Structure 1
């Protein structure tokens, strides 16, 4: 374990993570062959990474258009102030809204950056009114509507 509570990752762990981030249904025997370990060793390492919080979940990635979510917006949100209570309230609000796919508390002149998916512009307008327009904590927001999902990779870069 390290100071942050996660276990130290060696080259085998990193190789395993690169494989299962692409497809977490890859059979452990295939992973084992790719990283030169036994299937049992791969299984133990994956279990240890799950237990320590390195692996936080296993999910299905759904194509937004397959479930009629045609609008993806990147939204910059500026709060009136960034006191702890204001920031914590905004974080809680954004976490509970299912259309908010990603939320980042950021630096550089913006309070938050959100990735939002909705079915259409009417739904997006209603959501922005509720989240930003009627929210006294929000000073301003700016929407960038994605024209194309060029890359929407869920895998994080894992250095060697």
Structure 2
């Protein structure tokens, strides 16, 4: 997604995005019918949203517990030093860990916040001892386990959002 192109989302664009977030397998006809637009302009809008990077991809969402990944851990990582080369090395190493579902560069006491999914406490220990703490520059690690999800969303609140101004061409 290019940051230098202005974007403007009208009510049809927002309706398309909301519909696709609810049902990524919806056909163009189904989307067009749901938002009150004919199929050709609807498809053109979808293609423009994809080309502009507003729609970055399509996925199937899986239930982690249903496939044996019942443990969710949140890990805060503090590096020894916050130099660009150390940050880049950590980010490259952590990106190669399939257990890491999300990694954020943070402000505050931790440099990074990770969300990790594993099958068992033993797998978590293995990840911590043999993967995470062996990354050069990792100085301090603090972890917490999720007891249960309270709110889990994948859909962004497109109706309320005010995107930075970029025109979709």
SS at match of 1:116: strand
Q: CA RMSD in A?
A: 1.9
The answer to which structure has the higher helix fraction is: 1
Change in Cα spacing, 1:4 to 1:142, as seen in structure 2 (3 Å) is farther
Deviations 1:68-118 (A, max 9, x none): 011111111111111111111111111111110111111122111111001
Structure 1: stretches of 5+ with no match in the other structure: none
**Equivalent residue number for residue 89 of structure 1:** 89
SS at match of 1:86: helix
What's the TM-score once normalised by structure 2's chain length?
0.86
* Alpha-carbon contact 1:105-1:113 (below 8 Å) kept: yes
Deviations 1:4-25 (A, max 9, x none): 4474322211121111111111
What is the distance in 2 between the residues matched to 1:5 and 1:90?
31
Q: Which moved more, 1:67-76 or 1:7-16?
A: 7-16
* Alpha-carbon contact 2:29-2:39 (below 8 Å) kept: yes
Structure 2: stretches of 5+ with no match in the other structure: 162-169
**Equivalent residue number for residue 14 of structure 2:** 14
Q: Which has the higher contact order (CA 8 A, sep 6+)?
A: 2
1:8-157 aligned at under 5 Å gives the runs 8-157=8-157
Q: Which moved more, 1:129-138 or 1:92-101?
A: 129-138
Q: Which moved more, 1:14-23 or 1:130-139?
A: 130-139
* Alpha-carbon contact 1:7-1:54 (below 8 Å) kept: no
What's the TM-score once normalised by structure 1's chain length?
0.90
